[in-house]
């Protein structure tokens, strides 16, 4: 009776398995936190400022404005799907970075498109009142915010998985605390910028 020594029965061990990941320098942690800081700024400048402009300046009904903007939250369950996608299907050889960059480009582009639609919606209301054309613009704005939410999900969930991938149990808590603290910093910066812009 012969013994099968093939690699299928005795798989070759991974030389990196069981070895701790190299510690993440403090500067790298803050560099990773820039992404979250940018999200904080974007959340204030897009969602908060657009909401205020639509209701106070353009006289869009609050229910319509809030409903259109809230569409980015209705698609948030897609985060689970994008997380699984980044696990199973790498893009251009990267499991996380490609999704982060593509999502980032898409949600910033969606924010720009949303502003253009907001101006068209406001102009339509001023000329014709809130009629069928205004409802079409509001529907288009809701679709753009849904795309904004999908792009945000495609970027932020793989980014969170990236933080887990590059850290181990010893420095993961420090990394997560710094990165999420910078989200709060971004929200504060966005609030200061938006208040300065709206008071001019």
Q: In the prediction, which pLDDT does 68 show?
A: 87
Q: What is the mean pLDDT of the chain?
A: 81
Q: Nearest CA to 21 among 168, 173, 174?
A: 168
Q: In the prediction, which pLDDT does 17 show?
A: 47
Q: With 50 as the cut, is the pLDDT of residue 91 above it?
A: yes
Q: In the prediction, which pLDDT does 187 show?
A: 86
Q: In the prediction, which pLDDT does 143 show?
A: 94
Read off the pLDDT of residues 147-192 as tens digits, 9 standing for 90 and up: 999 998 888 888 888 888 888 877 888 888 888 899 888 888 888 8
Read off the pLDDT of residues 11-64 as tens digits, 9 standing for 90 and up: 433 334 456 667 778 888 888 888 888 888 888 877 778 888 888 888 888 888
pTM for the complete prediction?
0.78
And the tokens for 81? Answer: 């799907």
- CA distances from residue 7 to 13, 15, 48, 52, 115 in whole angstroms, order as listed: 10, 15, 58, 64, 58
HEC letters along the chain: CCCCCCCCCCCCCCCCCCCCCCCCCHHHHHHHHHHHHHHHHHHHHHHHHHHHHHHHHCCCCHHHHHHHHCHHHHCCCHHHHHHHHHHHCCECCECCHHHHHHHHHHHHHHHHHHHHHHHHHHHHHHHHCCCHHHHHHHHHHHHHHHHHHHHHHHHHHHHHHHHHHHCCCCCHHHHHHHHHHHHHHHHHHHHHHHHHHHCC
Question: What average pLDDT score do residues 4-14 get?
Answer: 41
For residue 94, list its beta bridge partners: 91
Q: In the prediction, which pLDDT does 173 show?
A: 85
Find the largest Cα–Cα distance for the chain: 91
Map out the domains of the chain as residue ranges: 32-198
- Higher-confidence residue of 90 and 121: namely 121
Read off the pLDDT of residues 120-137 as tens digits, 9 standing for 90 and up: 888 888 887 777 888 899
Q: In the prediction, which pLDDT does 196 show?
A: 75
- CA distances from residue 175 to 30, 34, 44, 80, 182 in whole angstroms, order as listed: 9, 12, 24, 22, 11
Q: With 70 as the cut, is the pLDDT of residue 6 above it?
A: no
4 falls in which pLDDT band (50, 70, 90)? Answer: very low
């Amino acid at each position: 009776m012969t013994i099968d020594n093939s690699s299928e029965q005795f798989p070759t061990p991974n030389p990196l398995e069981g070895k701790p990941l190299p510690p993440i320098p403090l500067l790298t942690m803050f560099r990773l936190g820039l992404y979250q800081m940018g999200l904080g700024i974007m959340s204030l400048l897009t969602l908060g400022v657009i909401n205020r402009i639509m209701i106070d300046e353009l006289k869009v009904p609050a229910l319509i404005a809030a409903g259109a903007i809230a569409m980015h939250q209705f698609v948030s369950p897609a985060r689970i799907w994008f997380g699984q996608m980044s696990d199973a299907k790498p893009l251009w050889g990267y499991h996380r970075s490609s999704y982060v960059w593509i999502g980032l480009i898409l949600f910033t582009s969606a924010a720009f498109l949303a502003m253009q639609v907001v101006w068209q919606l406001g102009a339509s209301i001023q000329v014709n009142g809130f009629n069928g054309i205004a409802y079409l613009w509001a529907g288009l704005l809701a679709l753009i915010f849904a795309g904004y939410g999908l792009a945000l999900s495609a970027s932020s969930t793989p980014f969170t998985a990236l933080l887990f991938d590059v850290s181990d149990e010893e420095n993961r808590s420090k990394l997560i605390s710094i990165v999420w603290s910078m989200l709060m910093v971004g929200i504060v910066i966005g609030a200061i910028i938006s208040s300065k812009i709206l008071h001019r």
